[in-house]
Amino acid sequence: MLEGRKLTVRYDGFTALDGVSVTLAQGMVTGLIGPNGAGKSTLFSVLAGSVVPSAGTVVFGGEDITSRPPVQRARLGLGRSFQLSRDLVGLTVLENLLVAQPQRRLEGVGAALFRRQAVREQEARMAELARALLLRVDLWRLADQPSAALSGGQKKLLDLCRVLMLEPRFILLDEPSAGVNPTRVGEITEFIRSLAADGISFGLVEHNLGMVAALSDRVYALAEGRVVAEGSFADVTANDDVARAYLGVGA
């Protein structure tokens, strides 16, 4: 569903990605692992559209999206969460979701009046979707509370729900367990697993290897801007190159 083909990113002589090719298949969770500085976040940023590659191509659903900005990729069904929670301070938990509903395109006042009923129906549908998502992650009871009062794990769940408001086909998850206590990590893992069962595909950058093992159908390991191994979690973590680069031990 999502491919990076021979992606290269250079910054002032430093090569962050060096001809990386990855295939993130439909109906699967694909994990990306590697040490700090391996190029994982850069690769995610290229796939999401916030970084333009120096060379290479990004393909989503068979369409070349290399030059498309993040907002256009989101409209195609490609969503992204971030390592740092991005709750909108000053808004309630529910309002954080409602502001994420898809943009409507209206041409002038006449079109707006003509489509007023359709707009109301869309807003009602989005409100129901927000309620259903918050119920699913046990945040509906906090719907009217300020989002700033949530714990780190609850904010990560809220982030993911906000992405889901766009009804994506594919979600890039950036460190969903970062700053989250172990109990909440289990809840997030189960939520992602349930979404995958619903048919949403995922790319996962994560340092928590337990979460990667629990969720990933396929794993890529990166080091120094290159893919050094790919395959099942067991095969990749047993690879000598991964042991040297990621785990810091000898072959």
Q: How far is CA 238 from the centre of its chain?
A: 26
> To which residue do tokens 């120094």 refer?
224
Sign of CA dihedral 70, 142, 194, 38: positive
Q: How far is CA 50 from the centre of its chain?
A: 13
- C-alpha dist (Å) from residue 156 to 93, 118, 221: 12, 32, 24
- C-alpha dist (Å) from residue 208 to 29, 178, 186, 196: 15, 8, 12, 19
**To 5 degrees, how large is the angle CA 22–CA 225–CA 36?**
110
Position 101 scores a pLDDT of 66
- 146 DSSP assignment: B
- Beta-bridge partners for 229: 221
Position 145 scores a pLDDT of 93
**To 5 degrees, how large is the angle CA 42–CA 170–CA 156?**
70
3-class SS letters over 85-98: CCCCCCCEHHHHHH
Residue 175, amino acid: E
Position 43 scores a pLDDT of 94
Q: Tokens in use for 154?
A: 């609850």
Locate the DSSP E strands across the chain. 2-11, 14-24, 29-33, 55-60, 63-64, 78-80, 170-174, 201-205, 218-223, 226-231
Position 248 scores a pLDDT of 56
Position 202 scores a pLDDT of 96
Q: Mean pLDDT in each 10-residue stretch from start to end of the chain (251 residues)? A: 94 90 94 90 92 95 93 92 66 89 54 65 86 95 92 90 93 90 90 94 93 95 92 90 65 39
Position 250 scores a pLDDT of 44
Strand order in the sheet with 170-174: 78-80, 170-174, 201-205, 29-33, 218-223, 226-231
> To which residue do tokens 């007023």 refer?
116
Q: In this structure, are strands 29-33 and 218-223 parallel, antiparallel, or unpaired?
A: parallel
DSSP3 helix / strand / coil % (the chain, rounded to 5): 40, 25, 35
- Beta-bridge partners for 216: none
User: Structural domains in the chain?
Assistant: 2-87+150-245 (3.40.50.300), 92-149 (no CATH)
